[in-house]
């Protein structure tokens, strides 16, 4: 597996005043970062991924994929409360050319270790691209 | 996670002891341990980190790059200065009481793009933006 290298900022998602994703600002921000960083981590905490629904998250990934430099590592966070949505997001990310997907443990409910292990087994098995788990601040 | 087929882990614990343990127990097997903050990259780089996920990098990527290059190349004097600069910027981020909101504010102050956070996050008011701007100028990054 290839290691991630360099600065990969967790890109914030630009919204307009009404809370809709602003595609023009997404393009501007990605183009600003394209020559200054080595990758982008999209839909994480800074990206407000958990504040968006599945369709919005897919839409953002498509916007970023249109503008990101092919030289950059492109990682998408697909963590949700449930296996189905996370797998759907992971497959969609793979179809849009990302290099890796990442996920926190399923949130909101408290799950035992076996359930969390099963969650990650399902996600890892759903895609052929690199998979990185994430630990959030304890 | 490694045995499940995951390639790595992003550690945002802000705990350098925990990071070292992950590197020691998993790093040598090729499992990628990535730092989820810019706040302690110098220490993490010394321990083996080769990638980080810095929120500050949205608005000040050049400052984070200075830290990365100095730390990876082993220029410890320069890396210490760069880490101090990064952490001084993080102190300014905390004026927003949310580092997420702070990044939107930095992007506005630097005229990178027009971007608002989504509720329940709220954008900063003009007084708070003014204070942030003053502190950024005082730090010499504006």
Q: What is the pLDDT of residue B116?
A: 97
Q: pLDDT tens digit string along B50-90?
A: 999 999 999 999 999 999 999 999 999 999 999 999 999 99
Is B17 near chain A, with CB under 8 Å? Answer: no
> Is residue B119 predicted with pLDDT exceeding 70?
yes
* pTM score, whole prediction: 0.96
| Residue A9 to residue B14, Cβ atoms within 8 A | no
Euclidean distance between CA atoms B37 and B49, whole angstroms: 11
**pLDDT band, residue A132 (cuts 50/70/90):** low
* Least confident span in A69-73, A86-90, A130-134, B16-20: A130-134
- Best mutation target among A46, A60, A123, A124 (most B Cβ atoms within 10 Å) is A46
Q: Phi and psi dihedrals of B9, rounded to 5? A: -145, 140
pLDDT at residue A91 is higher than 80: yes
pLDDT at position A131: 67
d(CA B52, CA B55): 10
Tell me how crowded residue B38 is: count the other CB atoms within 10 A of its CB. 27
pLDDT-based confidence at residue A1 (cuts at 50, 70, 90): low
- Check whether A137 has a pLDDT greater than 60: no
H or E element: which one contains B99?
helix B99-109
**Could you confirm whether domain A23-133 is CATH 3.20.20.70?**
yes
What pLDDT was estimated at residue B2? 83
Report residue A121's pLDDT band, with 50, 70 and 90 as the boundaries.
very high
pLDDT for the residue B4: 85
Chain A nearest C-alpha distance from B68 (Å): 7
Q: What is the pLDDT of residue A129?
A: 83
Closest CB to A36 among B62, B100, B119:
B62
Q: Is the pLDDT of residue A136 over 50?
A: no
Q: Is the pLDDT of residue A73 over 80?
A: yes
How many pairs of residues across A and B have Cβ atoms under 8 Å apart? Answer: 154
Residue B27: pLDDT band with limits 50, 70, 90: confident
Residue from A70, A74, A86 nearest A127 by CA: A86
Distance (Å) from the alpha carbon of A84 to chain B's nearest alpha carbon: 18
Q: Which residue of B has its CA nearest to A104?
A: B10
- List, for residues A25-43, the tens digit of each pLDDT value: 999 999 999 999 999 999 9
Residue A131 CA to chain centroid, in angstroms?
11
Our CA angle for B133, B107, B40, nearest 5°, is: 85
**The pLDDT value given to residue B29:** 87
**Are B14 and A137 inside 8 Å of each other by CB?**
yes
What residues pair up with A132 in beta bridges, in sequence order?
A: A102, B8
CB-based contact, B11 to chain A, within 8 Å: yes
Residue B3: pLDDT band with limits 50, 70, 90: confident
Quick check: B13 pLDDT over 70?
Answer: yes
Do the beta carbons of residue B1 and residue A120 sit within 8 Å?
yes
Q: Tokens standing for A135?
A: 């630990």
């Amino acid at each position: 597996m290839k290691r991630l290298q360099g600065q990969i900022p967790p890109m914030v998602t630009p919204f307009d005043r009404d809370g809709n994703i602003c595609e023009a600002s997404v393009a501007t921000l990605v183009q600003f970062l394209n020559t200054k960083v080595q990758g982008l981590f999209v839909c994480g905490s800074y990206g407000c991924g958990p504040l968006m629904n599945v369709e919005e998250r897919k839409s953002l990934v498509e916007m970023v994929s249109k503008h990101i430099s092919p030289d950059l590592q492109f990682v998408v966070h697909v963590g949700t409360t449930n296996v189905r949505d996370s797998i759907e997001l992971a497959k969609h990310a793979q179809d849009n050319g990302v290099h890796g997907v990442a996920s926190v443990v399923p949130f909101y409910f408290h799950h035992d270790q076996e359930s969390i292990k099963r969650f990650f087994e399902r996600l890892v098995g759903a895609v052929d691209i690199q998979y990185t788990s994430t630990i959030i601040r304890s | 996670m490694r045995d499940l087929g995951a390639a790595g882990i992003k550690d945002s614990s802000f705990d350098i002891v925990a990071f070292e343990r992950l590197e020691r127990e998993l790093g040598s097997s090729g499992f990628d341990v990535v730092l989820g903050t810019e706040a302690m990259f110098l220490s993490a780089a010394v321990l083996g980190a080769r990638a980080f996920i810095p929120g500050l990098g949205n608005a000040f990527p050049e400052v984070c790059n200075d830290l990365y290059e100095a730390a990876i190349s082993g220029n410890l004097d320069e890396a210490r200065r760069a880490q101090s600069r990064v952490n001084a910027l993080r102190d300014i981020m905390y004026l927003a009481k949310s580092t997420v909101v702070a990044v939107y504010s930095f992007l506005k102050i630097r005229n990178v793009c027009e971007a608002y956070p989504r509720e329940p996050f709220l954008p900063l008011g003009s007084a708070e933006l003014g204070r942030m701007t003053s502190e950024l100028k005082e730090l010499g990054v504006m």
